């Protein structure tokens, strides 16, 4: 019974990884032009992050499932070690983020501002689409304010999606009304409004990881007690 529960839990983890990987591939294919806001990390897109997370979850889930089904102690131990490394990395990143939150915030703002200068370049369509979508959906303009675009583009204009009344080339008319709040402020506001939801999601992920580690070690010791040889 214990082994069956372990296998079921690890199988769910593997299926979640497959699902995330599938969503990431779908995003990459269907929304390929939606890239990233950051010129320093051009590969840091939503699709790439989902694919990476899905691949990691799927591989670790595969190790756990195979180890549980075949009762291979080395695979269960590998699954435990991988989960432990992921958990430690998450904790370290979280601690560093809170310790250096002000510095991280300032670096993000500067990196986003640097990216504005690439808005009209031909090889950064993804960045342009990303800014157009976020500014239209969240009714914001620029990083801190719409004047960020003036500095980045070296002229008194903003993207059309900054206009409160949107029409073609409305951003070139300085008499138009633009969204007066920066997108970085809107992101911070969204994170603050959803901190309880994000915290709940984080706790669920933590519990799943701890359960995976606990089940793998429980099954590992069960196999060891029954006299199974340590084999691959």
Please give the chain's pLDDT, 232 residues, in tens: 444 444 445 544 545 545 544 554 555 554 444 455 565 555 555 556 666 766 777 677 677 676 667 777 787 788 888 888 888 888 898 888 888 888 888 888 888 888 888 888 777 777 788 888 889 989 999 999 999 999 988 888 999 999 998 888 898 887 788 998 999 999 888 888 888 887 887 888 788 778 878 887 888 887 777 765 444 4
For the residues of 168-216, what is the DSSP string, one character each? TTGGG-TTS-B--S-HHHHHHHHHHHTHHHHHHHHHHHHHHHHHHHHHH
Distance CA(161)–CA(137), nearest Å, equals: 9
Q: What is the pTM of this model?
A: 0.67
Q: Say if 194 falls within a structural domain.
A: no
Neighbours of 144 (CB within 10 A): 15
Q: Are residues 175 and 214 in the same domain?
A: no
Q: Among all chains, which residue has been given the structure tokens 């342009």?
A: 128
Q: Say if 118 falls within a structural domain.
A: yes
- Domain that includes residue 96, residue range: 2-100+202-225
Q: Say if 192 falls within a structural domain.
A: no
Q: Are residues 164 and 110 in the same domain?
A: yes
Q: Say if 191 falls within a structural domain.
A: no
Find the CATH number of the domain harbouring 174: 1.10.1450.10
What's the number of domains the chain is made of? 2
SS3 121: coil
Q: Say if 196 falls within a structural domain.
A: no
């Amino acid at each position: 019974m214990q082994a069956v529960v372990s296998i079921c839990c690890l199988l769910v983890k593997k299926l979640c990884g497959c699902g995330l990987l599938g969503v990431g591939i779908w995003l990459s294919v269907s929304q390929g032009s939606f890239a990233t806001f950051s010129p320093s990390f051009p590969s840091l897109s939503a699709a790439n992050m989902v694919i990476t997370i899905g691949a990691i979850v799927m591989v670790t889930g595969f190790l756990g499932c195979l180890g549980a089904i075949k009762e291979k102690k080395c695979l269960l131990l590998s699954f435990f070690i991988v989960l432990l490394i992921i958990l430690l990395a998450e904790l370290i990143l979280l601690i560093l983020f809170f310790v250096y939150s002000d510095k991280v915030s300032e670096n993000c703002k500067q990196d986003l501002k640097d990216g504005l200068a690439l808005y009209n370049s031909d090889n950064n369509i993804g960045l342009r689409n990303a800014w157009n979508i976020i500014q239209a959906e969240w009714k914001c303009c620029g990083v801190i304010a719409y004047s960020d675009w003036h500095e980045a583009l070296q002229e008194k204009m903003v993207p059309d999606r900054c206009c409160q009344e949107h029409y073609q080339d409305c951003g070139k008319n300085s008499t138009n009304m633009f969204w007066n709040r920066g997108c970085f402020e809107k992101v911070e506001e969204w994170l603050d409004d959803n901190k309880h939801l994000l915290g709940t999601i984080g706790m669920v992920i933590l519990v799943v990881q701890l359960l995976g580690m606990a089940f793998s070690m429980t099954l590992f010791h069960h196999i060891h007690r029954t006299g199974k040889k340590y084999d691959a």
